[in-house]
Chains A and B, each alone.
Chain A
Amino acid sequence: MSVEWLRSCYESEWFLFRDDPTQVTAGEYYFSPAGTPFYPGWHNLGARIWHDANWQHVQALGESITSKQTWDDGDVPTNDVFTIPIGDPDCIAKGERVSDGVPSGDLPFGFADGCIRSVAEEQRLWQIVRDYENCQVQKVHAFLVQALYELDDDAIVKTIRDWLGPLPAIKIHHHAGPRPGLITIALGNWMVAILDGTWEFQEFALQAMAFIVGPTNKGSFSTAELWWNSSTYVNNLMNDDGQVAGGPLMMIGHSYGGAVGLVSAARYKLWAPTREIVYLTFGVPKIGDQRFVDIVRKCEGLNLAHQLDIVTTLPPDKITLAPLFALFPGVPLFLYTEWLRPYPQAMIRLDGELDYQTYPLMDTATIVALVTQAVLHLNFNVIEAHKMPRYQILLQTRCPDAHWPIDEQVNFDVHVNYQAIAWSTIKRPRGALVFNSVAIPPSGATCADAIPFVIGDVVDLIDGTSSATWYRCSVPDGTLLHMSVDSLPAGTVIGNGFFGPTCLSLTGLGSYLVIANVVCRSRTTSAGESFWYLRVLSVSGPCRFSVNPGPCP
């Protein structure tokens, strides 16, 4: 959080301890990113530059009046930090106590190590989320698009948290008038934008059909006016949600939303040719002229088309239209042919396989009906195969073994979270969950309250099938904890810690492997397959790093 208004950043020294006015702590200001909220309470981190030189100020807490100020460029010296509640308002307003101080040598750049944002972790999650060719990833994105259609915010947030953990920021904007709904997932400098169509999405997807026009020239390429305008609208929302200029970006959308996503991707690519832009669309119609298709090809992504979804073939091409020129004399059907399909487009066959060589086909009767509706300005028939759930079914058919909605992630190292809360679905245990982080003990707890955690007995976990690598861990409140730990035999004491509803902290120095506060629940997929989900809060690390409201020796 921001604490001060400054034009120039600098290094100086601060008096921070209420019970020892002689101790000074070195510090520096750096510019916080735009939009960073201010700390709402009172503090003693303010700059002395605001003091009026006419008056004699007497040093108490705060920046030393006599210390030398050294100009600084305002760059944060390392990666960004998370906003983590540390201490309490009274402590921040009235000063820390020496006994609660943390040796500055243990705080990288002044922050608890758990606060430091890990670029590696951000990149790891980006690599997961951008994997558009992964059927599992496609399933998650398809689920999110459908949830956006259904205005099911809880499902959206929960699914993303299940998938990517607590780090990414999630913003949801429901559709408004002709504008599509939008989910943004942002972490570090990357962002994923997921767009639905509108509830009348077919009208928009078929608008080029209905008005019998070619794409509108927008300067660098031609596309639909509505899509262009909506991409501007979406861009504004993405900026509001913290889009980082030039940062990796993934656009995902269905139908009209997919077209808007591709228009956005093209516009970003024109602006920043080296920017990493990935896309994934479902059921997107033909998007515009050759220039547009060429620009989109400079991005990386895939356009999925249901085998029976004829929206992806609209407006129709010359061959399909050929019989109609005689039926509709005087109607400028040739304008349809200016619309081109995006590349690459993969057709999902009914058996779930991807086919990059062929496209969904439209029979003559269908095209005659559509053109008739367009010429007479009638409502279009509903195209069932265009709906998002139909895509989800084909994806489930294509990759039924993948765990819904998240692939298993058993081996991962969360070394950035102050309170590491991770969701993981585990079907086939493949190693240990390792966390290196610190949690806050319950208020008032002391190390004398520490509770040993013991690896329990082997249990049957999945559908009655015994697994030699599943264990049950018990804690004093009687909660059964199921987990998979390859390297630790039953009976191993894996650490002493505090156990509470949401927190856990180790008490000794050293490196620990701890898994605790695990919630088990089962979930059944549409294929009738049950999975166990484990919610894991786990920490490891020396207790003295626990900068917390309560005493921690």
Chain B
Amino acid sequence: MPFKYTTILQLTTAPTIADAASAHIGGWSESHWRNDNPDPAGGAFLNLMQKRAILLPAQAAIVGYRVGSYTLTGNKIYPAGTSTGRIFLPGGTIDCDVPQMALQLNSGSNAANSSRIVLRGLPDDLVKNGEYAPFSGYKNALTQFITSLRTNDWGFIGRDLTQPAIRVLGIAGGVLITDGSNAILPGADWVRFNKVVDVNGKPVSGSFFVASSPSANHFVLTGLDNTIVAGPNGTVRRDIVARFNYSNITPGRVVVRKVGRPLEQYRGRRSKRRVA
């Protein structure tokens, strides 16, 4: 059973000239997945949060966490409860500017699946001439964070792209015809099409349940009764959501990712806070 560990981060700007600006607060979250039982108060998650906090500017801090448990079945995610808590891990010593820069880390799990980890709230001193330019101390801290991610079995979830793509020969009357079964299981599997267009030129998208298999290459799919695909046309693949470990994590490039309202765009009104 995978668990999604979410870190709650907050950045509070600090005007140095009181009559020129006022403080703003923005927040965001970062999530990583693990397979074992959660231990937010210690262990791998705390270690990860501590390593992450060092990378934050002085105006930012980790203020809480959230752990959600899930069950992955086929292409479905079953939420199975959450637990939340408060923690305070202040950021490092480098000041921030307008908190809009983020560092993108690239991670590959296998040949097919990869993930991009985005670390928001990147201190401005780490960017020179528009590109990531860490000094040695920050580079070491980032290495420690990456090591914590890699060695403690952190990962991400995604569609399993290692599932073989099967050539689609046609669809008619709700029946998919392929050039091979490749262990598609009737009554259990869902499939997803890739670059398949029907006779009207419209893409066939979405995932479809495999209800039965009249023969080795024929599969009855639910919800495709009115779709007609003629001739070899694109591929189909078992639709499976799985968790993958991070591996080969490398610093990528600086990207623009603002942090929360009001430092980012409007996303609906914020609730009124009660006066304490």
Identify the A interface with B (CB < 8 A). Answer: 2-9, 30-31, 33-34, 37-46, 50-51, 55-58, 60-62, 71-76, 93, 244-245
When distances are taken between beta carbons in the complex, the residues of chain A under 8 Å from B77 are 51, 55-58
Cβ of B128 under 8 Å from chain A? no
Q: Which residue of A lies closest to B64 (CB)?
A: A5
Kindly state whether residue B84 has any CB partner on chain A within 8 Å: yes
Q: Within the complex, what minimum Cβ distance (angstroms) separates A256 from chain B?
A: 30
| Known A-B contacts A71-B269, A245-B276; A50 and B83 likewise in contact (beta carbons under 8 Å) | no
Closest to A243 in B: B276
Q: What residues on A are CB-neighbors of B73 within 8 Å?
A: 58
The interface size of chain B toward A, counting residues with CB under 8 Å, comes to 35
A75 touches B69 (CB 8 A): no
| Complex: A2 Cα to B241 Cα, angstroms | 31
| Sample of 20 A–B contacts (CB below 8 Å) | A2-B84, A5-B8, A7-B260, A8-B269, A38-B86, A39-B84, A42-B69, A42-B82, A43-B81, A43-B82, A43-B83, A50-B68, A55-B77, A57-B78, A57-B79, A58-B78, A60-B80, A61-B80, A74-B274, A93-B81
A7-B271 contact, Cβ under 8 Å, with A34-B276, A50-B66: yes
Q: Which of A6, A50, A55, A71 contacts B157 (CB 8 A)?
A: A55
Report B66-100 CB contacts with A as 1/0, cut-off 8 Å: 10110001011111111111100000000000000
Q: How far does the alpha carbon of A5 sit from the alpha carbon of B86 in the complex, in Å?
A: 10
Chain A CB within 8 A of B207 CB: yes
Give min CB distance, A74 to chain B, whole Å: 4
Provide the residues of chain A in CB contact with B29, threshold 8 Å.
5
Complex CA distance for A30 and B274, rounded to whole angstroms: 9
Q: Is the CB of A42 within 8 A of B81?
A: yes
Which B residue sits closest to A36, measured CB to CB?
Answer: B86
Report the nearest A residue to B190, measured CB to CB. Answer: A56
Complex contact A8–B76 (CB within 8 A): no
A360 CA to B130 CA in the complex, in Å? 77
> Contacts A40-B83, A55-B241 given: A73-B271 contact, CB under 8 Å?
yes
B275 interface residue (CB < 8 Å to A): yes
Cβ-based interface call for B43 (8 A): no
Judge whether B268 is part of the interface by a CB distance below 8 angstroms: yes
A51 CA / B4 CA spacing, docked (Å): 10
Specify the main secondary structure of chain A where it touches its partner.
Answer: loop
A55 to B242: give the CA distance in the assembly, Å.
11
Most B CB atoms within 10 A — which of A6, A42, A245?
A: A42
- CB atoms of A61 and B81 under 8 A apart: yes
State whether B79 touches A60 (Cβ < 8 A). Answer: yes
What chain B residues lie within 8 Å of A73 (beta carbons)?
Answer: 271-272
The 7 closest A-B pairs by CB, nearest first: A46-B82, A74-B271, A42-B81, A9-B271, A73-B272, A8-B271, A58-B76
Judging by beta carbons under 8 Å apart, are B27 and A3 in contact?
Answer: no
Q: B84 contacts which of A38, A74, A76 (Cβ < 8 Å)?
A: A38
CA distance A8 to B80 in the complex (A): 23
A55 to B31, CA, bound (A): 15
Q: Decide if A56 touches B75 in the complex (CB within 8 Å).
A: yes
Measured CB to CB, the closest approach of chain B to A294, in angstroms, equals 30
CA A42 to CA B85, docked complex, whole Å: 11
In the assembled complex, the CB of B264 is this many whole angstroms from the nearest CB of chain A, namely 12
The chain A residue with its CB closest to the CB of B80 is: A60
Query: In the bound complex, what is the Cα–Cα distance between A470 and B272 (angstroms)?
Result: 54
Please give me the residue from chain B that is nearest to A239 by CB atom: B276
Report the minimum CB–CB distance from B97 to chain A (whole Å): 24
**Which residue of the partner chain, among A33, A46, A71, contacts B276 with CB atoms under 8 Å?**
A33
B157 nearest CB neighbor, chain A only: A55
Contact partners of B241 in chain A: CB under 8 A: 55-56
Query: What's the Cα separation between A8 and B82 when bound, in Å?
Result: 18
Contact B79 A3 (CB under 8 A): no
> Chain A residues near B68 (CB, 8 Å)?
46, 50
Q: CA separation between A40 and B81, bound complex, in Å? A: 12
Report B-chain residues with C-beta under 8 Å of the C-beta of A60. Answer: 78-80
**Cα distance A58–B78 in the bound complex, in angstroms:** 5
B269 and A31: CB pair below 8 A? Answer: no
A75 close to B272 (CB less than 8 A)? yes
CB-defined contacts of A45 to chain B, threshold 8 Å: 82
Flag if A57 contacts B76 (CB, 8 Å).
Answer: yes
**Bound complex: CA of A73 vs CA of B275, how far in Å?**
12
Which residue in B76, B84, B260, B274 is a CB contact (below 8 Å) of A3?
B84
Q: Which of B248-264 contact A (CB under 8 A)?
A: 260-261
> Given A50-B66, A71-B271, 12 other A-B contacts at CB below 8 A?
A6-B271, A8-B268, A8-B270, A38-B84, A38-B85, A41-B83, A43-B83, A44-B82, A46-B81, A56-B75, A58-B78, A60-B78
Q: Does B213 contact A (CB under 8 A)?
A: no
Is the C-beta of B6 less than 8 angstroms from some C-beta in chain A? yes
Inter-chain contacts of A50 with B (CB < 8 A): 6, 66, 68, 82
Q: How far is the CA of A46 from the CA of B79 in the complex (A)?
A: 10
- Give CA–CA (A93, B67) in the complex, Å: 13
A42 to chain B, nearest CB (A): 4
Tell me whether B274 and A75 are in contact (CB under 8 A). yes
Most chain A CB atoms below 10 A, which of B76, B79, B270: B79
- Chain B residues near A46: list those with CB within 8 A: 66, 68, 79, 81-82, 84
Chain B residues with CB under 8 Å of A93's CB are 81
- Give the docked Cα–Cα distance between A5 and B29 (Å): 10
A residues within 8 A CB of B260? Answer: 7
Q: What distance in Å separates the Cβ of B229 from its nearest Cβ neighbour in chain A? A: 23
Tell me the smallest distance from the CB of B154 to a CB of chain A, in Å. 17
Say yes or no: A76 contacts B83, CB within 8 Å: no
Query: Which among A34, A44, A51 is the interface contact of B81 at CB below 8 angstroms?
Result: A44
Complex-state Cα separation, A8 to B27, whole angstroms: 13
Closest to A7 in B: B270
Complex Cα gap A2–B86 (Å)? 10
What is the CB-to-nearest-CB distance from A82 to chain B, in angstroms, rounded to a whole number? 17
Q: Specify the chain A residue showing the minimal Cβ separation from B6.
A: A50
Interface-central residue, A5, A62, A72, A74, by most chain B CB under 10 Å: A5
Contacts of B75 in A (CB 8 A): 55-56
- Complex CA–CA separation, A52 to B7 (angstroms): 15
| A-chain residues with CB within 8 Å of residue B83 when the two chains form the complex | 39-43
When distances are taken between beta carbons in the complex, the residues of chain B under 8 Å from A31 are 271, 273-274
Q: For A8, give the chain B residue with the smallest CB separation.
A: B271
Q: Which residues of chain B are near A2, meaning CB under 8 Å?
A: 84
State the Cβ distance, A474 to closest chain B Cβ, in Å. Answer: 47
Contact partners of B268 in chain A: CB under 8 A:
8, 71
Q: Is the CB of A76 within 8 A of B76?
A: no
